[in-house]
Amino acid sequence: MAFARGAFTVAIAGRPNVGKSTLFNRLAGKRLALVHDLPGVTRDWREADVEVGDLRLRLIDTAGLEEAAPESLADRMSKATESAIKDADLVLFVIDARAGVTPTDEHFAQVLRASGRPVTLVANKTESRAGDSGVLDAFRLGFGEPIQVSAEHGLGFPDVYDAIRAAMPESQAEDGEGEAEEPERPLNIAIIGQPNAGKSTLANRLLGQERMLTGPEAGITRDAIAVDWSWKGRAIRLADTAGIRRKAKVVKKLERLSVGDALKVIRFAEVVVLLMDASQPFERQDLQLAALVAEEGRALVLALNKWDLVGDKERILRELKADLEETLSQVRGVPMVPISAKSGTGVDKLMQAVLDIHATWNKRVPTAALNRWLGAVTERHPPPAVSGRRLKLKYLSQSKTRPPTFYLSCSRPDALPDAYRRYVVNGLREDFGLPGVPIRLMVRAEKNPYEGRRKKS
């Protein structure tokens, strides 16, 4: 689901741990934002196009707003939240009814009044009588009667719908009831890598704005944040993900949730950019991530970040390309682009590599050409004999793209050696221009047209 950029925008805001992300997920109709008992899980603001009843909205989940020391991580989070609020047509100001109105809530109320944005007060966690006093206390914030909800239990949402609809211009509310114009389908790109590789810095460089939180601290990004964008007129949905460490090092529940979110993004991406530190490329974890992308059938581009800090660039790049042929043979020919996310060097080349590999990932080869090729390669290098019987390769066709998938008809599929399968795959890659993308070869027996027929007496 993707709406035009003019969609009515609703931001969910409040201090940490009042249930903003739970409310966001409930309105979105699925779990998009990470939810955990630990305060401050959300750091960057996350957006999604959602349908609430017949209303089509752009929904934003923000980090908790609180007072913090200048230039600290909390201060950068607060500034990101304020930026999201300025972008909103309506702010849902969430408080915890069980805790009542806190000094932080009062500070946040002042910030919202100064923003000039329309505000609807939402008292969350009202599923029991423990929140009654907090609901009464909320009147003193100056935003009128609060809407009582329980985001966790799904209570009070008809009132939230009514408040959003009342805030929408009549033209947008009516447009939501009909068929909206379907925008161009964006190309889904995910940026992955180990913690502190520079993923958020690269995302900001591509977007041309400080959209993602960055800083010297490792592990700033927790949620996978997707942003709609365009490059040279091509619609793109760019996802920045949390750093993925080796499984043995991931022990805390919150980090497991973050890594799980990143892995889910890989599965739904079309092209994955694996960002590596150029001073320490192809570490074991980088290779495992590349193998995971290939296993999922996604197109892959390798980006060597911090290239401006590398000496003797030509020699090192030559050595890395030689290593690459051995270490990632399953995606032989994968593009590798040296960049500097900080300065922007090589970023245009990276995006061109993304578009090129996406085109290859979508490539289809005519069946007639495949079978002429199959006849030539089997004549040059026949399949081996197994138990005294020569294997016969009869027919080859491409069943799908994304990734390129081929069906090979063989007299005895189970007996075809893995080495010969690799020979066929490598030949397809080289002769039909499929470098750098995973290729799937499905080997099956030719169906016997007489199978299942009864013998006539």
The amino acid occupying position 16 is P
pLDDT value, residue 39: 43
Tell which wins on pLDDT, 391 or 181. 391
Q: How far apart are CA 81 and CA 171, in angstroms?
A: 28
Task: Output the pLDDT for position 64.
Answer: 67
Position 379, amino acid: E
Least confident of 57-61, 335-339, 345-349: 57-61
CB atoms under 10 Å from CB of 421, counted, come to 15
User: Quick one: 433 and 378 in the same domain?
Assistant: yes
Residue 285 domain flag: yes
> Does residue 165 share a domain with residue 142?
yes
Same domain, 392 and 416: yes
Same domain, 165 and 226: no
Return the pLDDT at 323. Answer: 84
Is there a single domain that holds both residue 342 and residue 401? no
Phi, psi at 305, each rounded to 5°: -85, 160
182 found inside a domain: no
Interatomic CA distance for residues 304 and 197, integer angstroms: 9
d(CA 396, CA 442): 10
* pLDDT: which is higher, 388 or 159: 159
Check which CATH number belongs to the domain holding 412 and give it: 3.30.300.20
Res. 282 pLDDT band, cuts 50 70 90: confident
Domain range enclosing 67 = 8-175
pLDDT over 70 at 161, yes or no: yes
Angle at 427 between CA 426 and CA 430, to 5 degrees: 85
pLDDT in tens, 221-258: 555 677 888 898 899 988 888 767 555 444 454 445 55
Does residue 40 have a pLDDT over 80? no
The share of the chain scoring above pLDDT 70, in percent, equals 79
Q: Which amino acid is at 216?
A: P
Do 68 and 133 belong together in one domain?
yes
Q: pLDDT higher for 392 or 179?
A: 392
Mean pLDDT check: name the lowest of 45-59, 179-193, 195-209, 287-301.
179-193
Query: At residue 328, does pLDDT exceed 70?
Result: yes
40 within domain boundaries: yes
Structure-model confidence comparison of residues 269 and 446, the more confident one: 269
36 has a pLDDT exceeding 60: no
Res 3: pLDDT: 46
End residue of a domain, out of 117, 147, 175: 175
Looking at the structure, tell me whether residues 162 and 37 fall in a common domain.
yes
Shared domain check, 324 and 194: yes
Decide: 37 and 227 in contact? Cβ < 8 Å: no
164 and 217 both lie in a single domain:
no
Examine the domain organization and report whether 333 and 197 are in the same domain: yes
The answer on pLDDT for 116 being more than 70 is yes
78: pLDDT strictly greater than 80:
no
Domain boundary among 361, 395, 414: 361
Same domain, residue pair 154 and 140 = yes
> Which of these ranges, 44-58, 246-260, 264-278, has the smallest mean pLDDT?
246-260
Structural domain count of the chain:
3
Q: What's the average model confidence in pLDDT over 378-383?
A: 91
More confident residue, 438 or 259: 438
Q: Is the pLDDT of residue 134 over 80?
A: yes
